[in-house]
Each structure stands twice: as C-alpha cells, then as structure tokens.
Structure 1
C-alpha cells in the first residue's frame, strides 16, 4: 500500500544554492514554517539520524535514507504505531538554465492509504508555501 503527494516548482536558483539550504539543517525552519526545531546527529549523509519538531507536535526521529549532493535527499520517519513509513523526498533537476525542485511525501505500509487520506492533507498543506520560501532564499530575494 502507498499514498503519495508531490509538488514542483521551476526556478532560476542554482542546484548548489538550493542544496546549501537543504544540507544546512539548522536553516530548514527558514524555508519551512511548520518546523519548530531540527537537530541532526552527524554530517548530512545517508544513515545519519536526527529529530524534527513540528509546531504543536512531539519530536519525530528521522533518518537520512538518501543523500546525493546537489540532486536529492530523503528523510524517513517510521511510525510503528501506525504501521507506516513516511519518506520526505526533495529532488533537484537541471532543466537547461532553470532548475526544477520537487518535494514529495510518500507513505508506505499496510495502513498507508488510509492514514494518507486522513493526515495527508494536513502534512502536505504547507509544502507549496515552503517551496516558495526555499526558492526566494535560494535566489537571494529574502534572507
């Protein structure tokens, strides 16, 4: 079973500028307003764990399950009590002189479809706005 949400933007920002915002975990809350705090237990590379606290929520443990510099990263949270795995994937793709950025939320597991339909809209509602903030920060429009 699987549930998926995806949103993309096209920007003039370089992949390197976007990546700098991705791998500076302490800056995630600058572009994602739903984040209260993020801590990572090592360098920004596959297998490293961290804690992410969203506004009004308990801290969630995540693992960087995929990291490819200037291309993509995925942070994964496993919610055993719900029998689901949440993958938050962030992709950067070069389109000529522009850059395509895609953020996806993929829920998998036996309850993924049901849970996705219940909490998916809540966990994805801020993604277009956070991507707009990411774009503005990467282009230097805001700091």
Structure 2
C-alpha cells in the first residue's frame, strides 16, 4: 500500500460538526473541489455503499469501511485493480480544540498505475479540501 498524502487541521468546531458534513455527502462538492457529486445508498453507517463522481472522471463505487462517530470515518473507492482509501481521524486536543487527520492511500495490483493518474492531484488537493471542510464546519457551529 502506498500513501498518496496526508493532511491535518485543528478547529474550534466539535468532532460532531465534521461527522455531520461527512454524513451529508450531497454537500461534499461545497468543500471538496475534485468532487462533482456523491450519492450514499442509505444511512451513513459502517458498510454503507455509494457512488462518487469526480470532476472530469468516471463514477466510482465506494464503501464506508469504518465509522466510529466522533473518532473515525474511512471510505474505500473501488478502482479497477486498486482500492483508494481515505481515512479520517478526529480527536480532541489538550487545548480543547478538535484535530482532524486525513490520509489517502492506494493498494492493489494496479496501484502504481492509478498513482500515475491520480496521485499528484489527490496529494495536491488534500490539505486545501480539509481546510475548506474546517471552514464549513466552523461556520455551521
């Protein structure tokens, strides 16, 4: 498995504010510049499936592979011969703020090929998208 990128932020918004944004997948394009739309097939729970449409790319099925409200949200997109994973970790800091860490990884037999196609774009937008998510979460709080 290869790491495409990592990003982190601290925020005055509570962990629940981030989980509210992640659960409301129809609003992802507001803070994720690479996403045209997202559809979740049912409630935001571990094992839930959906489809994501990147801007300029084909629809991609995904699964919510881990969900611990207030702590972790991991989604895995199923690419041909590879899996693109975004792991989001949320924790309280000693100062009373919220820290959010996001890691994007690629695994599978065609991961190196997908890295050539997607790697730089994901790595380049990960921090910007997380900064935008922080702004949205704080504005909603």
Same fold (TM over 0.5): yes
| C-alpha distance 117-133 of structure 1, shift in aligned 2 (>3 A) | same
Counterpart in the other structure of 2:89: 91
Whole-angstrom distance in 2 between the partners of 1:60 and 1:111: 16
Aligned 8 A contact 2:6 2:127 in 1: no
* Number of equivalenced pairs: 139
Whole-angstrom distance in 2 between the partners of 1:62 and 1:109: 15
- The normalised TM-score by structure 2 is 0.89
- The normalised TM-score by structure 1 is 0.88
The 5 A counterparts of 1:29-108 are 29-80=29-80, 83-96=81-94, 97-108=96-107
Unaligned segments of structure 2, at least 5 residues:
none
| C-alpha distance 137-52 of structure 1, shift in aligned 2 (>3 A) | same
Report the Cα offset of residue 110 of structure 1: 3.0
| RMSD, aligned CA | 1.8
Unaligned segments of structure 1, at least 5 residues:
none
| C-alpha distance 100-114 of structure 1, shift in aligned 2 (>3 A) | same
Encode CA deviations 1:14-67: one digit per residue, 9 max, x unaligned: 111111111111111111121111101010011111010011111100011111
Counterpart in the other structure of 1:27: 27
Runs of 4+ in structure 1 off by over 4 angstroms are none
